[in-house]
Structure 1
């Protein structure tokens, strides 16, 4: 399927141009043929007039001079032939140019004054014939048919030459027309390219709204997109403020509950209840954090963000190296310089942070991050040399609250946050075995 509007329009215009030229070609050939026949008829009529002016009536007989004013009649090899017939159809005179010709033409003498037609000789050659019937010659009564002939082959040669030239010129005109159409379509679609460039700038955050410098036909579209952008921006701000207010409003009650638990812990008989209370408070805090992250890290509608991968790894690696300094983890990087994640900054930090934290926590000493472009998508791999994930447990750990590692605190929501982020950006997450010996989290993101 052709996705380019310019190419689609160009193909349609080219088809119409070819059809038009195909219809025009026979019409032009026909018009030229008619014009050429008219020119031949006029020439033969002029030649007949020369014969009439040269003819004389002496007594009751026709007399013609030995040399005619038109030299073609006097040359044996000439293609211009002249004949004179009486009213009974008997040939009474023929020009010198007809010496080697054997054309059997019988004039009808029906009072038509003149007639333009075609005849063939014994060998099948075709001739144009112009026949003029006269009743007066030199002021005397005389009934004759004055006939001039010319081979059709010359006409055919001219027609073929014209046809060849027509093909060449029409073909050249078609190419020029297609070139002009391509330029005109490019000029006409320039506004669409401008709109596309502005949308690209909006996606990467270089501008916030579409400009007003667009054709009137596109004003409805640009106005609607601007309203959508403004609405999305305002809604996102309201969403963030609401989430901030919610987090702040829950922070104080949780702190109060934590203080009550500390007071109750001073009494030995309350230790078991305090342990349950602390566990539930921690669970509530983590669940609230998870829901806030899940709501705030989803992909925005029209804006396409890019986040450089290397600086993110620098930041996260430095933090995790401090947390797990006893392990001396070696973080390997395998991706081209300038590689970017098609995610917002916060979503990138949260996704990579959770995956790297799991890898640091479970590895023996080696973690590797790999990124590659493939089929219009970005493939990101986070691998470690730890114990790995059994094949029958891989789907379970991607569900919220599911954890295989029960020796470390946590509610098992980190991977679920990663899944939510990836899903919101139309990506995929798979768990595989790593060549390092541990687990490999393979992420595919549309780029």
Structure 2
């Protein structure tokens, strides 16, 4: 599988993270805009309230100018740099009154507003201070019954609104960042819990491949249970099919043994014919024995579990020591209890039985069995196998010494069984001059 393919967990984390960012970002923007509108609306309402207070307290002075008497209705209008200013403009665009808080300020040209109308505007003084302003146009009846148009304006520094907005934004995004981290952590916990059955399923499949278990559990959630059941059914069918194939091959080989036994009793006056017949019957017997051995071999199976090498080697070694007791072979088992191979027990018995039998047969005094990683080594101190004959010995019907009894199918059978498991067998020399059989199984 390509390393570029994202895992399900990573896909879910990335997808949920994107959704989370989009959702929280959109929510934050909506809240931000709502707060800004609310702050500006509150400021506008506040300025309108100040204007109504100005209208209620405004009066003409001795010079006939519309002014606000002391004390002013809003204390901030009396303080310089308070952030709140007010002024009154005549219909000739001339400013005839300003609050004390406008001392030293110049907000530029101002214009009148028609009577009864409201206007919102933005003013900037020479010090670059921006003000949000509200103006209202009125018509005032003087004592002489004449009507005069005025525009009352009150403005508040934008700092009064921007500061709370900035504070709100800082608190908002800090809170959202904290919530995001919390949700990401919770999301990780939820995903780990939710994907745990899938992870367990993958581990069980891997255990099947490694031979540490034979079946899948049946306690998976509803989404995975059918898959586990189908996999178990597939394993059962595969095992049954292998059993049928072995039985069929065994039946075929057994069915040939009786006719061959009868043919072996046939005698003829022609010596050459009898010799040829005997040779062919012997060849056919070897083939039957070879096929019977293959039938007994279980071969690779997804449900094959790992078995310990030491008990099997010890059992076979004890039997061969009794069989070759006259040779007094010293068998050394340099194998630990943790050394295991993923082979059916019957096949391992067949493999070690044939190889150790050959080792005992040729050894002078000692045989040694050892294991390094996934390789089994069988060493003997016999004459060894010439380099030119090592490949031939592993072929069916070939023997290193025709004087030694046997059909020449033992190591060939071993090679066939090992090949079924994807392993290999080779013959080498060892330091003592004897033969070394090296058997390797895939891990």
TM-score (normalizing by structure 1): 0.78
Gaps of 5+ in 1: 373-377
Q: 1:63 corresponds to which residue?
A: 67
| Secondary structure class of the residue paired with 1:245 | helix
How far apart are the structure 2 equivalents of 1:392 and 1:78?
A: 109
Whether the 8 Å CA contact 2:393–2:411 is kept in 1: the answer is: yes
2:345 corresponds to 1:345: yes
Residue 176 of structure 2 is aligned with which of 170, 177, 193? 170
Whether the 8 Å CA contact 2:76–2:84 is kept in 1: the answer is: yes
Whether the 8 Å CA contact 2:218–2:229 is kept in 1: the answer is: no
How far apart are the structure 2 equivalents of 1:5 and 1:254?
A: 62
Residue 17 of structure 1 is aligned with which of 3, 17, 20? 20
Q: How does 1:95-244 map to 2 (within 5 A)?
A: 95-104=99-108, 106-107=110-111, 109=113, 113-125=117-129, 127-136=130-139, 142-193=148-199, 195=201, 211=218, 214-215=221-222, 217-218=223-224, 221-222=227-228, 224-244=230-250
Q: Any idea what the Cα deviations from partners look like across 1:254-274, whole Å, max 9, x if unmatched?
A: 44445x27xx6xx9x888877
Deviates more, 1:233-242 or 1:60-69: 233-242
Q: Any idea what the Cα deviations from partners look like across 1:20-74, whole Å, max 9, x if unmatched?
A: 5455555554444334333333333333333333323457421213233333223
Whether the 8 Å CA contact 1:429–1:442 is kept in 2: the answer is: yes
Q: Any idea what the Cα deviations from partners look like across 1:68-87, whole Å, max 9, x if unmatched?
A: 33332232242223333333
| Secondary structure class of the residue paired with 2:259 | helix
Coordinate RMSD, CA, aligned: 4.0
Deviates more, 1:186-195 or 1:87-96: 186-195
2:38 corresponds to 1:42: no
Whether the 8 Å CA contact 1:298–1:424 is kept in 2: the answer is: no
Residue 92 of structure 2 is aligned with which of 74, 88, 91? 88
- TM-superposed deviation, 1:225: 3.1
TM-score (normalizing by structure 2): 0.79
| CA pair 401-102 structure 1, distance change in 2 beyond 3 A | farther
| Secondary structure class of the residue paired with 2:441 | strand
Whether the 8 Å CA contact 2:329–2:363 is kept in 1: the answer is: no
Residue 427 of structure 1 is aligned with which of 408, 423, 426? 423
Q: Any idea what the Cα deviations from partners look like across 1:101-146, whole Å, max 9, x if unmatched?
A: 4433524536793333434332434x23122222246999553333
Whether the 8 Å CA contact 1:116–1:128 is kept in 2: the answer is: no
| CA pair 9-290 structure 1, distance change in 2 beyond 3 A | farther
| CA pair 232-102 structure 1, distance change in 2 beyond 3 A | same
| CA pair 16-66 structure 1, distance change in 2 beyond 3 A | same
2:368 corresponds to 1:367: yes
Whether the 8 Å CA contact 1:133–1:143 is kept in 2: the answer is: no
Q: 1:322 corresponds to which residue?
A: 322
Aligned pairs, number:
433
| Secondary structure class of the residue paired with 2:176 | helix
| CA pair 423-12 structure 1, distance change in 2 beyond 3 A | farther
Gaps of 5+ in 2: none
| Secondary structure class of the residue paired with 2:41 | helix
| Secondary structure class of the residue paired with 1:82 | strand
How far apart are the structure 2 equivalents of 1:388 and 1:159?
A: 93
Q: Any idea what the Cα deviations from partners look like across 1:156-183, whole Å, max 9, x if unmatched?
A: 4434433333333222222222233333
Q: Any idea what the Cα deviations from partners look like across 1:169-207, whole Å, max 9, x if unmatched?
A: 222222222233333334443553565577678776977
How far apart are the structure 2 equivalents of 1:441 and 1:111?
A: 114
